[in-house]
């Protein structure tokens, strides 16, 4: 009886990580397919390559997958023209996020920025 129990524990130690790795690979593969469809929709809508980035994260046990569209400052019109085409191809279980680049403001008075002292 003890040998059977030890055998089951050893099989569990080997099989459980293998099953989890296979499931993770399938999720990543599905996310890669979603990303390819989204990039294709962007290219078709704009008629070629664009400054629109498509980042896709695979769904987990607790969260939906995410499709994030973004573009550099000044190219927001590309995202506006393409998001509806991308949204049509996003499957259930994924959220579409359209992000804007953060606007970094520089201080108006450069003298107000403290200078660092030399360390050595």
Q: 112 exposed, middle or buried (CB, 10 Å; 0-12, 13-18, 19+)?
A: exposed
Report the mean per-residue pLDDT for the chain.
86
CATH code of 2-102, in short, is 3.30.300
In whole angstroms, give the CA distance from residue 89 to residue 64. Answer: 16
Instruction: Say what the pTM is.
Output: 0.72
Name the DSSP class of 112. Answer: G
Least confident residue range of 42-51, 78-87, 92-101:
92-101
To the nearest whole percent, how much of the chain has pLDDT over 70?
A: 85
Domain boundaries along the sequence of the chain: 2-102
d(CA 81, CA 51): 12
63-77: b (≥16 Cβ within 10 Å) or e = eebbbebbbeeeebe
pLDDT reported for residue 73: 87
């Amino acid at each position: 009886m003890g040998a059977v129990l030890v055998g089951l524990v050893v099989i569990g130690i080997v099989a459980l990580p293998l099953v989890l790795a296979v499931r993770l690979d399938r999720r990543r593969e599905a996310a890669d397919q979603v990303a390819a469809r989204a990039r294709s929709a962007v290219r078709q809508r704009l008629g070629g390559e664009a400054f629109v980035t498509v980042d896709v994260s695979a769904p987990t046990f607790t969260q939906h997958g995410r499709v994030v569209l973004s573009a550099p400052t000044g190219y927001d019109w590309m995202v506006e023209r393409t998001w509806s085409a991308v949204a049509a191809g996003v499957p259930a279980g994924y959220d579409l996020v359209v992000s804007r680049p953060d606007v970094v403001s520089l201080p108006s008075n450069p003298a107000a920025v403290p200078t660092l002292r030399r360390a050595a």
